[in-house]
Amino acid sequence: MASGVTVNDEVIKVFNDMKVRKSSTQEEIKKRKKAVLFCLSDDKRQIIVEEAKQILVGDIGDTVEDPYTSFVKLLPLNDCRYALYDATYETKESKKEDLVFIFWAPESAPLKSKMIYASSKDAIKKKFTGIKHEWQVNGLDDIKDRSTLGEKLGGNVVVS
């Protein structure tokens, strides 16, 4: 069931910037997003980039010690969100990086919020072409341990 919610152009721009890993200057790399949250606009008609809910690559080692733990802390305990996380993980063969689309729907979120986020998920997923990994998370117990994400990605552990 579609909700009629549209995806703001800024969301698509953020996704495209995170997806493309071209050789960049050190300054450009620092501005690249490691993680970002998306939410519904106040009128519930658009999916937008959530203000000030992101982690930049340049923040790591500066204001952010552990990007994964910091990302988990960005998630609201009582409401739903969509997120993109640029995971670095290890398989037996190598170290890999992949974008993960996360649908955060905690048990404590209001039912109406869960319903509108669930019915709007396809709208945002259709815009995120080439995403290999999707993860629905229903509470902190599911997401706080980085090894759970590592297993989802087919690796051993998420490094960052």
Q: What is the pLDDT along the chain (160 residues), one digit of tens a residue?
A: 456 899 999 999 999 999 887 656 777 778 889 999 999 999 999 999 999 999 998 888 888 889 999 999 999 999 999 999 999 888 888 888 889 999 999 999 999 999 999 999 999 999 999 898 999 999 999 898 888 888 888 877 677 8
Report d(CA 125, CA 115) in Å as an integer: 16
pLDDT at 83: 97
Which of 98, 85, 94, 108 has its CA nearest to residue 156? 94
Coil, helix or strand at residue 147:
helix
Beta-strand relationship, 95-104 and 133-137? parallel
pLDDT at 1: 47
pLDDT at 111: 96
- pTM for this model (two decimals): 0.91
The CATH number of 6-159 is 3.40.20.10
Cβ-in-10-Å burial (0-12, 13-18, 19+) of 20 comes to exposed
Helix (H) or strand (E) holding 132: none
Cβ atoms of 2 and 122 within 8 Å: the answer is: yes
